[in-house]
């Protein structure tokens, strides 16, 4: 029973649409009606600016971290990685926002942060390196996931390898329109780096 509650709580945590909340309360804007229409941090940065983008991105990361910590908080033997995946599903298909959410990058990073913080720090560094070179947030996000797979293979944790491989595949799937735009050279580039 407690295990089911943990999974439900993780999904509900992931479902909190911080992009929608920050946009509507702070700016009177529904970000789903602007930019990519996505509820994640990148669209918030582009639509509402740096302050709102940072708030949403950090909040989306932390909900993944909090969800992954639920087994510890409830003294359960459930794997934090598995529980955190439910937060990622909630973020991507949020019950509180008509099941249309973000692309799973920040919340995935949050759950991994709880389990393997050093890996996430190096993934973030790799993300910014690719961003500096390419100017594409979407490409940087996908390649950071691939880097995470390689990192997890080197440390040899099979559960981590499986979960990060699935998360990366899901992130790439969620970015399929971005991939097409990169190929067509129509994907927006960051201008501040």
Same domain, 86 and 121: no
Q: Residue written as tokens 């393997």?
A: 116
Residue stretches of the chain with pLDDT short of 50: none
The domain tally of the chain equals 2
Residues 51 and 122 in one domain: no
Judgement on whether residues 39 and 50 belong to the same structural domain of the protein = yes
Q: Which of 74, 97, 115 is the last residue in one of the domains?
A: 115
- Which is nearest to 14 in space by CA: 80, 91, 71? 91
The per-residue pLDDT for 10 is 98
Q: Is the dihedral of CA 103, 107, 111, 117 positive or negative?
A: positive
Q: Are residues 102 and 155 in the same domain?
A: no
Q: What's residue 147's pLDDT? A: 97
b/e burial code for range 126-165 (CB count within 10 A of at least 16 → b):
bbeebbeebbbbbbbbbbbbbbbbebbeeeebeebbebbb
| Predicted pLDDT at 61 | 97
- The answer to whether residues 83 and 65 belong to one domain is yes
pLDDT score recorded for residue 39: 87
Residue 38: its pLDDT value, please? 86
Which among 115, 143, 166 is the end of a domain?
Answer: 115
Same domain, 178 and 140: yes
Which among 63, 92, 115 is the end of a domain?
115
Verify that 13 and 62 share a domain, yes or no.
yes
Cα dihedral sign, 119-141-42-107: negative
> What pLDDT does residue 190 have?
87
136 and 100: one domain?
no
Residue 45 sits in the same domain as residue 140: no
| Domain coverage including residue 102 | 1-115
Predicted pLDDT at 68: 97
pLDDT tens, position by position, 32-74: 998 888 888 889 998 998 999 999 999 999 999 999 999 999 9
pTM of this prediction? 0.92
List the structure tokens of 10.
Answer: 């993780």
In angstroms, rounded to a whole number, what is the distance separating the alpha carbons of residues 124 and 119? Answer: 9
């Amino acid at each position: 029973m407690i295990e089911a509650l943990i999974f439900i709580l993780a999904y509900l945590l992931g479902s909190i649409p911080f992009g929608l909340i920050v946009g509507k309360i702070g700016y009177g804007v529904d970000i789903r009606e602007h930019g990519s229409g996505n509820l994640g941090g990148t669209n918030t940065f582009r639509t509402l600016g740096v302050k709102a983008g940072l708030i949403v991105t950090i909040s989306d990361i932390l909900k993944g971290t909090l969800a992954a910590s639920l087994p510890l908080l409830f003294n359960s033997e459930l794997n934090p990685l598995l529980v955190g995946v439910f937060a990622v599903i909630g973020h991507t298909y949020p019950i509180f926002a008509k099941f249309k959410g973000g692309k799973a990058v920040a919340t995935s990073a949050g759950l991994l942060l709880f389990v393997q913080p050093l890996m996430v720090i190096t993934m973030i560094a790799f993300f910014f390196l690719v961003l500096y070179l390419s100017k594409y947030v979407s490409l940087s996000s996908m390649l950071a996931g691939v880097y995470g797979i390689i990192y997890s293979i080197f440390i040899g944790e099979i559960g981590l390898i499986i979960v990060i491989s699935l998360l990366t595949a899901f992130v790439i799937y969620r970015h399929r329109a971005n991939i097409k735009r990169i190929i067509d050279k129509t994907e927006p580039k960051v201008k501040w780096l």
